[in-house]
Amino acid sequence: MRLAKNYFADERRDDLNEIGQGRPRADVPGHVTAKTTYFADRNFPGMLHLKMVRSPHHHARIRSIDTSEAEKHPGVVRVLTAKDVPHNTYTILILIQIGPEDEHVLAEDKVRWKGEAVVAVLAETERAAQEAAAKVKVDYEVLPAVLDMEAALKPGAPLVNEHHGQNYYMYDSGACRKVRFGDVEKGFAEADHILEQTYSSSPIEQAPMETTGCIAVPDGNDRFTCYTNTQAMFFTLDNTSIILQMPGSQLHLVGGTAGGGFGGKVDVIVEPIAILAAKLTGRPVSFIYSRHEEMQISSPRAAETITIKDGVMKDGRIVARYVKGYTDAGAYSRHSPYGAQKGAAHYPGPYTIPNVWADTYCVYTNRTPSSAMRGFGVTIADFALEVQMDKLARLIGMDPLEFRFINAYRDGDMKAHRQTTEGAALIECMQEAARAANWPVAEKYFALSSHPREG
């Protein structure tokens, strides 16, 4: 690796001595000797195993739940249903006032996605818990389901989540997050060409090597220690406190070591029910997703559909951009209202476009709730934007990299969501990339910089 000292020479301190150096990770001696302690590397005497009974339907009303046979199964210690959970209706981002509470720790009257947790079974062995879970009888009345965003937004579509009242998240700005900048209609009227394209993506599973899980242990003084691989310790602490109606001082979370996460361990799913089970049984409780659960139950990256309409001049300037973005939250919000909102700010990309109109919707469907995954809200947007940029360049017969130089943002440019660009280095990165790849770019683009435009 080389530090390109010719860029930003006036802004850069010259005493940087780490870049380009190989430095060992602090945790790697533990990894290669297998002394690194993951949450499941702990054994506790008398530990119980939790297995979840899950909905086999995308959407159904629960007529009744019969746990009597499961409770009689050898090795079963306790069976939990919604009524055992002190504050059963929750939503993770309520901590930052993004409500309403719309999800149930254990299903109450309805299930809204195939895989939703309904009953928790606690037994002496994993096998006994699994066998007993199969004996729980849930009587479902199957309801019509909506499995894609288009169907969810059609008039008369089945309502996915009554806590919202409609199949999209209601922001304080209305049915969508909005970005309004300049006069987009005027921009399209002036444009030499207009290109409208729609980009769609499927959900993506994070698939960490270590599945989601935790072990909750009673400390014996009404305090509980929970060993977890969560990526969000404080979200977990605070949401568990709300769900169990226990002060945070009674909850001791131990974490920080995860066998991969990629955003898939940001939701608060396993800890509240495991701690509740430890409280109600007085015994350590292990709740670890099987690989099947990790793939089918844990929140994936949301499916997205993004329509981009751009007005472009023959000289390469993008003069107007109109975007409609849809994020499939699945049945519950989790982090998706936030992900969709990030998209709204991101759709102009790292380009300065004078007229922008963006609407982004967070849509509810009867699919597995989606949530965080590496750059959620912007990664799929970037895929769509950069494919669109290539198509625009082709449309006007321009080199795709030169086209990006023309539109690249620079320090001082006002972005569509009213943040002034600071610390831009896109032009310099593209210059370096062009040199490294021997990509033919006209000399004038090597004279550009990210420094503020003149005048």
Partner 1 sequence: MAKVPVQFSLNGSEKAEFVDSGATLLAVLRGKAGDTSPKGGCHQGTCGACSVLIDGELRLSCLTLAETCEGAEITTTAGLAEAGVLHPLQRAFMDGFAAQCGFCTPGMLMAAKALLDRTPNPTREDVVEAISGNVCRCTGYEPIIQAILAAARANSHNAA
Instruction: List interacting residues with partner 1 (CB under 8 A).
Output: 22, 24-25, 27-34, 36-38, 40-41, 43, 207-211, 258-260, 262, 290-291
Least CB distance to partner 1 at residue 374 (A): 11
| Smallest distance from partner 1 to CB 123, Å | 13
Closer residue to partner 1 (CB): 5 or 292: 292
Residue number, 210 or 267, with CB nearest to partner 1:
210
Give the C-alpha separation, 31 to 426, whole Å.
Answer: 37
The two structure tokens encoding residue 324: 């409609």
Q: Which is nearer to partner 1, 228 or 431 (CB)?
A: 228
CB of 21 to partner 1, least distance (A): 12
Residue 417 to residue 356: CA distance in whole angstroms:
9
- Phi/psi region, residue 451 (left: phi>0; alpha: psi -120 to 50; beta: rest), is beta
Length of the chain: 455
- Report the residue number, 27 or 141, with the smaller CB distance to partner 1: 27
User: To the nearest whole angstrom, how small is the minimum distance from the Cβ of residue 91 to partner 1?
Assistant: 29
- CB within 8 A of 41, min separation 6: which ones? none
End-to-end CA, the chain: 37
Closest residue by Cα to residue 125 from 117, 133, 115: 133
Q: Whole-angstrom Cα distance, residue 415 to residue 353?
A: 8
Q: How far apart are CA 403 and CA 155, in angstroms?
A: 41
- Between 43 and 97, whose beta carbon lies closer to partner 1? 43
Residue placing its CB nearer to partner 1 in the complex, 229 or 333: 229
Q: How far is the CB of 35 from partner 1 (least distance, A)?
A: 8
Minimum gap (Å) between residue 346 Cβ and partner 1: 25
Report the alpha-carbon distance of residue 37 to residue 227 in Å, rounded. 10
Which is nearest to 265 in space by CA: 221, 235, 239, 238? 235
Q: What is the smallest separation between the CB atom of 289 and partner 1, expressed in angstroms?
A: 11
| 211 vs 336, beta carbon nearer partner 1 | 211
CB of 419: closest distance to partner 1 in angstroms?
32
Q: CB 232 → partner 1: shortest distance, Å?
A: 16
Kindly tell me which of 250 and 290 has the beta carbon lying closer to partner 1: 290
Complex with partner 1: residue 260 or 316, whichever CB lies closer: 260
Cα dihedral angle (442, 447, 452, 455), rounded to 10 degrees? Answer: -90
Q: How far is the CB of 31 from partner 1 (least distance, A)?
A: 3
Question: Are the C-beta atoms of 325 and 361 separated by less than 8 Å?
Answer: yes
Q: Which pair of structure tokens corresponds to residue 57? A: 């339907």
Q: Which amino acid is at 242?
A: I
Closer residue to partner 1 in complex, CB, 265/335? 265
